A and B are shown apart, each in its own frame.
Chain A
């Protein structure tokens, strides 16, 4: 059979490309995501760089054929590591034409994007649908899309009475033909994905895979090759939330308390499944307040704990966060950010919780805040956070986001280490006379008694207290407590290195980012640099305390801007005087921290940043150089 395949493939010459962006879009429930995930997994296994991102409608089941109802997936495959979703798609498979309107509006396609479209609607019994189909085609052609109409539904019907359920694997077969994917791996992937559904379902999907593959051999005149990049070193493929869940386990965290909220929930799905493997317990609390309270209780009692949430949940947890800072309870708090304010954009990305996390509590609440920039870092940051929480005796915040949460990529397989794991709680007798908050003057750090430790008895309190944890309302102990809690951040910063500049250490423009925008920023900067622009970038992992040396680094660039997925007033807004202009959240912090006139480029579309948009901003800011380079 494989011989037959390769013979067919040889009939048409293949074009070798560095990368391609493929989208499969459909109504929800038609399995487009499954097909795309399989394509991504197969490609990763073949040694390609891969990034997949889901296209999710806001409602669970939007009406069929609705313009905003696109459900599907984007898969970016390359002959190099892929770190983001990229710009416009090269190839789109669509199960109906209506769902493409929303994608077009999001600028997901460009002139020349090839569209493989199910043409069953052209012959629909409903006259309206036929008219809509014809009208859409005309409009898409006017946008420059190259449309290939295919009888996908009809072809699938030859193999299954219910094409709605099987079309996705037929399409996977087609894509395997078009991109020269290893069919054997595709079959294995199907067997894994449908393992719980039984042999019959697997067999049917294998049949549809083969049928799609054979059909494309004659019916679709597209053949590409995307050479592999690294097929040898051991890797894992997962999304950021899965990486976060496994990172929590690798940290030896024992208790995770949460309340379901998009886009954080899938961390708990993974833990629900995997956590017993490391002896952990997942507590689904009655609300976010109870979740963090439970985690704080567990941690107070010596069991390492975390809570996972998104913006609205962070708002609810605020009071307990204040307590954790005040009473110095180690805790890992993970915020998978989504669009705000309020319920906002539940499924979409934003970096809007930075300032809220830093400052959103009563009084002065110095906190450690870190942000993973890649899916791989989503795995490693809980391990780091757990250590920081213990060493600096307080809550540590991980700001992830919806882009990392649902993006899927391959990264080197981590090698779990015993040192990553939290030790069991110390139950040896407490040193006689040692106070429960014996703050070290230089660092603010103090050893912590754990219930069960004889002689360590103390009452933790959220009231102002002295080092013996006795309520103390007098001016001096209050000031001392504030100073000690704050000093921990300075102590931590002393252990950090200045961030590494990507590109030359000086130039015309420095782009500063944080969190999930890393891949897009570096791709844009790389492109601009290859054209001769004097631009560099820098990506912060520590937001509080910030990595040292920023002011000195900034001084070597003519302009410094942040790229952020949150709101800022445009500099040229006629209704906003400069004195009232609000900056992006990181820019706000950097300006305060460094007194450098840091500007910002922010996006608030609920979409991951596309490298093209950052590139456009770079060239807008360095126009003369751009011309010189050409």
Chain B
């Protein structure tokens, strides 16, 4: 990590980044909010992978979780509610050198931004998309979100949410050109971290649903999951999210799942006895739009002028 190689030779990089280089200040989320842990994890990945801060772009929509970019000391884009994905696509389109991380909420992504979500999966552009799912609208104070379970009391449905919740995982699995679907929880920093690293390494639209505690509004939803050691089902596979030994004692409920098996992924996602975490599905060979959008990039001004003259010729009289 410090340039010391296996043969004891020292190769010092011209710049070396520490956690501080990604630290955009103290986050203003509530104490106990799951967002803090994700922020720490992303900063750590940037440090571990030594991504120059000026090459990282953290893009978000609007919501508590979407404050994320402000707490990174990298480039950031805190845009509109539900519209993080089109912006991220535009950024990536002609800047393959930039490392794009998207933060979105369950309302941001599955409600107001749902249309973009479907197409972003199809574009399959190389970026990590973290959906912070606290089952609620946090920022606007406890309204029903698309992932709120029916019967949950919210300020818009005080007698209980009316509709079945959207399942982001089966929805993802069903979308055209899906290439990476993972799930993790904010309160297990090891699994969270390993999942995000796996997502970052995948070339394509790497979607990670993070079950995220909201101590203010949905504490009870997540406390059950935290207390019961068998509530989570860890998916294991050589191609999946590597499962750290440190988890052997705490997360014993395991299953083997090959992430190239989409049908089994559907079946796992549909399970009601436990919530699977790890990699549901991965296909690194899906077409990627970001390889098409770069066409013509870097053309010289002379060539552009010549090309334009050619086009004008077609209209010349």
Residues of A within 8 A of B (CB): 41, 44-45, 234-238, 242, 246, 249-250, 252, 254-255, 257, 274-281, 283, 285-287, 289-291, 293-303, 305, 319-320, 323, 410, 413-414, 416-418, 421, 424, 449, 451-463, 470-471
The list of the 9 closest CB pairs from A to B, nearest first, reads A297-B90, A459-B76, A293-B86, A279-B299, A279-B296, A277-B307, A294-B90, A297-B87, A290-B86
User: Smallest CB-CB separation from A245: which chain B residue?
Assistant: B311
The CA of A451 and the CA of B79, in the complex, are separated in Å by 16
Contact: B317 with A457, CB < 8 Å? no
Contact of B304 among A235, A242, A421 (CB under 8 A): A421
The interface centre, meaning the residue of A297, A413, A449 with most chain B CB atoms within 10 A of its CB, is A297
Residues of B within 8 A of A (CB): 24, 52-55, 57-59, 69-70, 72-80, 83, 85-95, 97-98, 115-116, 118-119, 293-299, 301, 303-305, 307-312, 315-317
Contact B97 A236 (CB under 8 A): no
Q: Bound complex: CA of A431 vs CA of B211, how far in Å?
A: 41
Known: A452-B95, A459-B76. A278 touches B317 (CB 8 A): no
A315 CB → nearest B CB, Å:
15
Q: Decide if A416 touches B309 in the complex (CB within 8 Å).
A: yes
> What A residues does B88 contact at CB under 8 A?
297
Given contacts A298-B90, A471-B70, contact A277 B308 (CB under 8 A): yes
Report yes or no: B54 in contact with A285, Cβ–Cβ below 8 A: no
User: Given A287, A291, A453, which contacts B54 in the complex, CB threshold below 8 Å?
Assistant: A453
CA A250 to CA B306, docked complex, whole Å: 11
Q: Which of A238, A421, A463 contacts B315 (CB 8 A)?
A: A238
CB pair B90–A461 under 8 Å, yes or no, is no
- Least distance between B116 CB and chain A CB atoms (Å): 6
Q: By the criterion CB–CB under 8 Å, are A459 and B77 in contact?
A: yes
- Whether A257 and B90, one on each chain, are in contact in the complex, defined by CB atoms closer than 8 angstroms, is yes
Chain B residues, CB < 8 A from A449: 75
Q: Is the CB of A278 within 8 A of B304?
A: yes
The answer for the CA separation of A330 and B10 in the assembled complex, in Å, is 45
Write out the residue numbers on chain B whose beta carbons fall within 8 Å of the beta carbon of A41: 317
Given the contacts A294-B87, A294-B89, A471-B70, A286 and B296 also touching, CB distance less than 8 Å: no
The 16 listed contacts between A and B (C-beta, < 8 Å) are A236-B312, A276-B296, A279-B299, A281-B93, A283-B93, A290-B116, A293-B87, A293-B90, A294-B89, A297-B89, A298-B90, A299-B90, A301-B98, A319-B83, A418-B301, A456-B75
B312 near A413: Cβ-Cβ < 8 Å = yes
Docked CA distance A298–B315 (Å): 30
| A-side contacts of B95, CB under 8 Å | 301-303, 451-452
Closest-CB distance, A288 to chain B (whole angstroms): 10
Cα–Cα, bound, A421→B306 (Å) = 13
Q: Is the Cβ of A293 less than 8 Å from the Cβ of B316? A: no
A246 contact from B80, B85, B311, Cβ within 8 A: B311
B317 touches A280 (CB 8 A): no
Instruction: Tell which of A283, A289, A305, A451 touches B75, judged by Cβ atoms closer than 8 Å.
Output: A451
Contact between A320 and B75 (Cβ–Cβ < 8 Å)? Answer: no
Interchain nearest-CB distance for B168 vs A (Å): 19
- Report A-chain residues with C-beta under 8 Å of the C-beta of B309: 416
Assess the B308–A285 pair: CB atoms within 8 A. Answer: no
What is the CA–CA distance of A275 and B87 in the complex, to the nearest angstrom? Answer: 22
> Which residues does chain B contribute within 8 Å of A303, judged by CB atoms?
93-95
Would A279 and B297 be within 8 Å (CB), given that A289-B83, A294-B89, A297-B87 are in contact?
Answer: yes
B69 touches A459 (CB 8 A): yes
| Residue ID in chain A nearest B76 by CB atoms | A459
Contacts of B57 in A (CB 8 A): 301, 451
Complex: how many Å from CA A414 to CA B313?
A: 11
Quick one: closest B residue to A436, CB to CB?
A: B75
Instruction: Return chain B residues, CB-CB under 8 Å to A287.
Output: 115
Write the chain B residue with the least CB distance to A45. Answer: B317
In the complex, which residues of chain B have a beta carbon less than 8 angstroms from the beta carbon of A455? 54
By a CB distance below 8 angstroms, the chain A residues around B73 are 457
Which of B55, B78, B85, B307 contacts A451 (CB under 8 A)? B55
Q: A45-B317, A286-B115 are in contact. Are A255 and B93 (CB under 8 A)?
A: yes
Closest-CB distance, B4 to chain A (whole angstroms):
26
- The residue on A at minimum CB distance from B97 is A452
Known interface pairs A301-B98, A462-B78; A294-B296 also in contact (CB < 8 Å): no
- Known A297-B93, A452-B98; judge A458-B76 contact (CB<8 A): yes
Asked whether A286 lies within 8 Å of B91 as measured between CB atoms, the reply is no
A38 to B101, CA, bound (A): 53
Contacts of A235 in B (CB 8 A): 316-317
Contact in complex: B293, A283 (CB < 8 Å)? yes
Query: Which of A296, A416, A460 contacts B305 (CB under 8 A)?
Result: A416
In the docked arrangement, what's the CA distance between A250 and B309, Å? 10
Given A280-B296, A297-B86, A246 and B312 contact (CB-CB distance below 8 Å): yes
- Closest chain-A Cβ to B248's Cβ sits at a distance in Å of 39
Contact with A452, one of B54, B86, B303, B310 (Cβ below 8 angstroms):
B54
**What residues on A are CB-neighbors of B85 within 8 Å?**
290, 293
- Which residues of A sit under 8 angstroms from B293, Cβ to Cβ? 281, 283
Contacting residues, chain B, for A246 (C-beta < 8 A): 308, 311-312, 315
**A462 neighbours in B (Cβ, 8 Å):** 78-80
State the Cβ distance, A284 to closest chain B Cβ, in Å: 11
A-side contacts of B296, CB under 8 Å: 275-276, 278-281
**Taking A235-B317, A250-B308 as contacts, is the C-beta distance between A454 and B93 under 8 angstroms?**
no
If A236-B317, A458-B75 are given as contacts, then 12 extra A-B residue pairs at C-beta distance below 8 Å, sorted by A number, are A235-B317, A278-B308, A280-B296, A285-B86, A297-B89, A305-B90, A410-B317, A413-B312, A451-B95, A455-B54, A459-B58, A459-B77
Contacts of B312 in A (CB 8 A): 236, 246, 413-414, 416
